[in-house]
Amino acid sequence: MADTILKELTLKIWRQKDAKSKGGFETYKVRDISTGTSFLEMLDILNEQLVSENREPVAFDHDCREGICGTCSLFIDGRAHGPDDDVTTCQLHMRRFKEGATITIEPWRSGAFPVIKDLIVDRHAFEKIQQAGGYVSVNTGGVPDGNTIPIANDKAEEAMDAAACIGCGACVATCKNSSAMLYVAAKVSQFALLPQGKIEAARRAKAMVAKMDELGFGNCTNTGACESECPKSISIEHIARLNREYIKAKLKD
């Protein structure tokens, strides 16, 4: 499909000077945007325009721009990572928007993810959960040793599906309860399914859930909104596994 030009788009963007400022929406116009432009490139064009007008550019997170780093975020027109399924914002292209459209762009909203500036939120809460137990501390040896442990293909595949989590926070952003269960479930699952990770499975589940609760994330009500917005299509079946792992661990206490 040949790219066309969107003559004019209206952007309603959340602007906030810093973490302490109140913030509010500001409206901008961008013109002559090719439909082949990525959403972040469109924001780059807006920023160039703002800089040339001596105005403060819009701050937003971005890094790899190929959907694997989990840095980009944005709640676009009421959906995490925009209207496309299974993609991050950097993989979203302007062909998804119509000529003359008004696009509302907001930061992730969660008490555990405070806004630092404009569209950037502090996602350190995820790091803290990870530090609480999202690792394997047993000595698993080098690569040849690792390969000597037989792992069933379906288990390896399932663990890999969970490990696909890039920690972008779309699950928290989209969940009506701001629950981080899908993230924690993915991190717990990727290890719990493998022999090297099973050894510390109980401690891991307890520590990560305790940290998640402490940081003020909400409680999961199984709506499934997280899995439909997850750019890596991580299933809430992993949440069932986390529940199992946690209950099992607590029963042994």
Partner 1 sequence: MSNFLTSSIGKKVVMSLSGLFLIMFLCVHLALNLLLIFDNSGELFNHGAHFMATNPLIKIVEPVLALGFIIHMVWACVLTVQNQKARPSGYKKSSQSGNATWPSRNMFILGGVILIFLGIHLYNFWWNIKFPELGTPLSMIEIDGVEMEDTYTLVVGLFRSSICYCLLYILGAIFLGLHLSHGFWSAFQSIGFSNQIWRKRLEFVAYLFAVVIGAGFAIIPVYFLVGLGN
Binding site for partner 1 (CB under 8 A): 12, 14, 25, 75, 77-79, 104, 106, 109-112, 174, 176-179, 181, 209-210, 212-213, 216-225, 228-229, 235-237, 239-247, 250-251, 253
First-last CA distance in the chain: 60
**Which H helix or E strand runs over 248?**
helix 237-252
The token duo for 22 is: 């109140």
Nearer to partner 1 (CB atom), residue 106 or residue 118: 106
Least Å distance, CB 83 to partner 1, is 9
Nearer to partner 1 (CB atom), residue 24 or residue 150: 24
Q: Centre a 10 Å sphere on the Cβ of residue 219 and count the other Cβ atoms it contains.
A: 10
Nearer to partner 1 (CB atom), residue 61 or residue 106: 106
Do 28 and 103 form a contact (C-beta atoms < 8 A)?
A: no
Give CA–CA dist 185/165, Å, rounded. 10
Least Å distance, CB 178 to partner 1, is 4
Least Å distance, CB 127 to partner 1, is 18
Least Å distance, CB 240 to partner 1, is 4
Least Å distance, CB 68 to partner 1, is 23
Give CA–CA dist 40/35, Å, rounded. 12
The token duo for 168 is: 């972008």
Nearer to partner 1 (CB atom), residue 78 or residue 195: 78
Contacts of 67 (CB under 8 A, 6+ apart): 87, 88, 90, 91, 231
Nearer to partner 1 (CB atom), residue 61 or residue 227: 227
